[in-house]
């Protein structure tokens, strides 16, 4: 009986091994889907199929005085014999080649130590720098528009705090009624009840501006509770509270606030974006209740001072930046009447980089359209494009930079050149290739090897601020 069980076990093991070995002979594609080859002996195989010569050809193609377009890189194609390509080795070689190419561009800063200004006359941030020089007499407003990399005020909290220490100002700027990151945002606690969210990401029937979100009451009553955080001294208090809303008919509002006497008022009617502003010496917390809210829509609140720097964190999780082609010109004009910006910072890329793709010509074209639309809707604001951050995936048991990150970084730099706007190399500022591994080891980034912690955001904010202030020194020196 024991021998019978042993025979059955050996037979089962033989069947499993045969099935696994058979997976090696699967086609590269089935029903239009790419299939990853399974090779049980891959670690033991010796590269005898000319892979080294293929790598050398890629390096020769990518390295030069001017980096070739990342979207022109030779890709693995259907007519290329699968057994001649080790996809991981090829991807790593491409990554190394693109890295050399990026570093080789004469005007590029592969360490992220300075702003690469591709504007005509190297004057792409002149309006913002002029505003900073007058920050003691007027508000200087920055819109930091991005994805989950900066949501919850990661990076922007430290940047805001440093700018406010240097140029004045208090508060957190604009805060939406609620967001995906509301529960863990340390700079301001927001609790919203009775609201329905409309998002640029999945709603095509409404007109959106840079906030990307609209909120409708679910019934006749809705509320917002807010409390400023204590992490940074400059944001603990603000000199004014502003309620930004849209399409009001006859909504009444009641405010209970630590620094303003309890207030009840009728919000002025509006068929577009409008604001109700209340002054207070040291506003830090409050509750706002809206009643008779049929036909009412809100965008959020603003906590800031009448002078100094105000930074709006306008992050939308999952956004690639490409939907800004739908930015509504009328809504943006109305938004500018209450939130005029001196600088708009664009941070995107994590939702674009793909393990399977090194051709970002499609992204470059569409992102240029998005930037053109933002420029048309906000012509008075300077624009600054940030390159993609480092992101790591696991290859052969260890983590390293995704090849797509370098291809995308190259494409983003070309976007900045094409649109004649300043560019900052986030990837280089982090430390370049495999810097995400160091961030994770230090607790500066999450174990997803993609997103920063608040401590990592502080490091990157410091590097961005240093680059901006160095650029301002050069601007001020040339305008004495």
Taken in order 429, 345, 165, 213, the sign of the CA dihedral is negative
Query: pLDDT for 180-209, tens place per residue?
Result: 888 889 999 999 999 999 999 999 999 999
Distance between CA atoms of 453 and 189, rounded to whole angstroms?
18
From CA 152, how far away is CA 145, in angstroms rounded?
A: 12
Domain ranges of the chain: 1-37, 113-169+309-480, 170-306
Strand (E) or helix (H) holding 266: strand 263-266
Exposure class string for 276-285: b at 16+ Cβ within 10 A, else e: bebebeebbe
Question: Using CA atoms, how far apart are residues 374 and 369, in angstroms rounded to an integer?
Answer: 9
For residues 315 and 148, the answer to whether their CB atoms sit within 8 Å is: yes
CA dihedral over 438, 442, 448, 452, signed as positive or negative: negative
Q: Which of 103, 285, 92, 106 is nearest to 188 (CA)?
A: 285
Q: Are 109 and 425 in contact (CB under 8 A)?
A: yes
Element of type H or E holding 334: helix 329-338
For residues 224 and 190, the answer to whether their CB atoms sit within 8 Å is: yes
Q: Residue 426 and residue 154: Cα distance in Å, rounded?
A: 14
pLDDT at 287: 98
For tokens 């995308």, name the residue: 408
Q: Which of 407, 400, 359, 392 is nearest to 76 (CA)?
A: 359
The CATH H-level superfamily of 170-306 is Galactose-binding domain-like (2.60.120.260)
**What residue ranges of the chain have pLDDT lower than 70?**
1-5, 20-107, 478-480
Two structure tokens written together for 55: 């790598």
pLDDT at 427: 95
- Fold annotation for 113-169+309-480: Rossmann fold (3.40.50)
Whether the Cβ atoms of residue 429 and residue 390 lie closer than 8 Å to each other = no
Distances (CA, A) of 436 to 15, 148, 396: 42, 16, 17
pTM above 0.75, yes or no: yes
Could you list the beta-strand ranges (E) of 62-154. 116-117, 139-146
Identify the H or E element spanning 197: strand 195-199
């Amino acid at each position: 009986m024991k021998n019978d069980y042993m025979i059955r076990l050996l037979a089962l093991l033989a069947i499993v091994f045969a099935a696994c070995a058979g997976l090696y002979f699967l086609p590269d594609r089935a029903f239009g889907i790419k299939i990853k080859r399974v090779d049980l002996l891959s670690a033991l195989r010796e590269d005898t199929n000319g892979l080294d010569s293929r790598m050398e050809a890629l390096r020769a193609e990518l390295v030069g005085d001017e980096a070739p377009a990342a979207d022109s890189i030779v890709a693995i194609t259907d007519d290329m014999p699968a057994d001649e390509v080790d996809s991981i080795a090829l991807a790593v070689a491409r990554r190394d080649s693109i890295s050399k190419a990026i570093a080789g561009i004469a005007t590029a800063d592969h360490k992220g130590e300075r702003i690469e200004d591709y504007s005509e006359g190297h004057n792409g941030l002149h309006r913002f720098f002029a505003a900073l020089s007058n920050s003691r007499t007027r508000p200087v407003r920055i819109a930091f528009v991005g994805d989950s990399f900066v949501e919850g005020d990661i990076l922007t909290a430290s940047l805001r705090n440093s700018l406010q220490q240097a140029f004045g100002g208090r508060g957190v700027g604009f805060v939406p009624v609620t967001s995906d990151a509301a529960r863990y945002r340390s700079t301001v606690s927001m609790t919203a009840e009775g609201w329905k969210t409309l998002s640029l990401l999945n709603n095509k029937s409404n007109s959106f501006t840079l906030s990307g979100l609209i909120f409708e009451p679910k019934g006749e009553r809705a509320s917002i509770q807010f409390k400023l955080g204590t992490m940074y001294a400059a944001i603990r208090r603000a000199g004014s509270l502003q309620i930004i809303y849209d399409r009001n008919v006859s909504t009444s509002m009641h405010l209970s606030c630590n620094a303003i006497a309890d207030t009840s008022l009728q919000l002025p009617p509006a068929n577009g974006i409008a604001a109700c502003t209340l002054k207070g010496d040291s506003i830090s917390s409050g509750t706002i209740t809206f009643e008779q809210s049929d036909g009412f829509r809100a965008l959020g609140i603003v906590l800031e001072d009448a002078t100094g720097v105000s930074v709006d964190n306008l992050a939308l999780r999952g956004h690639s930046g490409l939907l800004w082609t739908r930015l509504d010109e009328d809504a943006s004009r109305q938004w500018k009447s209450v939130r005029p910006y001196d600088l708009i910072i664009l941070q995107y890329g994590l939702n674009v980089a793909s393990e399977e793709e090194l051709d970002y010509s499609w992204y470059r074209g569409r992102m240029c359209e998005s930037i053109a639309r933002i420029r048309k809707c906000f012509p008075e604001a300077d624009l600054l494009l940030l390159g993609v951050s480092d992101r790591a995936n696991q290859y052969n048991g260890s983590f390293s930079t995704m090849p797509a990150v370098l291809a995308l970084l190259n494409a983003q730099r070309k976007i900045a050149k094409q649109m004649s706007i300043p560019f900052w190399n986030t990837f280089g500022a982090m430390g370049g290739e495999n810097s995400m591994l160091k961030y994770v080891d230090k607790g500066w980034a999450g174990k997803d090897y993609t997103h920063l912690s608040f401590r990592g955001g502080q490091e990157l904010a410091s590097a961005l601020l240093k680059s901006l202030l160095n650029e301002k020194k050069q601007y001020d020196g040339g305008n004495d």
